[in-house]
Amino acid sequence: MWIRRLRRTVVAILGLGLLLGSPAHAQNSPEAQRVFDRARLAMGGPAAWNALRGLHETGKVAGRPYHRWVDPLRYGIRTETHLPEGLFVEAYNGAGEWRILPDGIVTGSVEREVMAEVRSDAFFGAYGYFFPSRFDLRSTHEGVRQAGGRSFDVLRVQPAGGEPRDLWFDRGTGLLGFVIDETGPKQGRTELMDYRRVGQVLIPFRAVAHGGGRPRGEERVLERIVFPTADRNLFSLPPPGS
């Protein structure tokens, strides 16, 4: 019974996903593109980033072990978090969003707000703003802001079909310092720090999220990241019975 309900849900998700995935936005503004070019150069250079075919993170979020796979070529993200009650899996393949709860129940959503949020998670997790030829997006330069004695170029970036985020790039180092979400009830900000070189690219190994319904700051610590070619099967629902 749940399989039939799930299939109906997936069909609806796919239909909505096609709408969300349709080209809708202009590309980076010239001012924003200059900031992105500087950031990408500071984080390893265009050749190094263009060579990536996938990202696999291992670490802890709020002290709980997690794995995350992201596809920088086209929309795809999967996160597995080890909760006290069991393994929680959530994923998105560019068309459909789905979850496997710790009790084994498989679910998903066709709500536009949920789809837009997870689409943005996939986009920003893949550093999609570095690849305007791969991901349709809109970006604007919102000005210069000050925080903690540093100056930041603030860019508002919105992937097609997703939610916008404000990205604060340090004018001294070129690195991304803050990601701010001002949409809906989950408004919050994430501070990125502890950049380390992995292979040819520079990656933030620590992020602290505030707001978004969190009673206190939630820390995500990256323990390891590798860059295998993304397995697209990871982002889609497993066949029934598997």
Q: Over the chain (242 residues), what is each successive 10-residue block's mean pLDDT?
A: 40 41 58 96 97 98 97 98 97 95 93 93 96 93 95 97 96 97 80 97 96 79 98 89 60
Strand partners, 119: none
Q: Is 177 exposed, middle or buried (CB count within 10 Å of its CB: 0-12, 13-18, 19+)?
A: buried
Tens of pLDDT, residues 54-90: 999 999 999 999 999 999 999 999 999 999 999 999 9
pLDDT at 195: 98
Domains of the chain, with CATH numbers? 2-235 (2.50.20.10)
Instruction: Kindly give, in sequence order, each residue whose CB lies less than 8 Å from that of residue 62, ignoring residues fewer than 6 positions away.
Output: 218, 219, 220
Q: Is 167 exposed, middle or buried (CB count within 10 Å of its CB: 0-12, 13-18, 19+)?
A: buried
Calpha distance 142→61 (Å, rounded)? 30
Instruction: Find the DSSP H helices in the chain.
Output: 2-20, 30-42, 46-50, 112-125
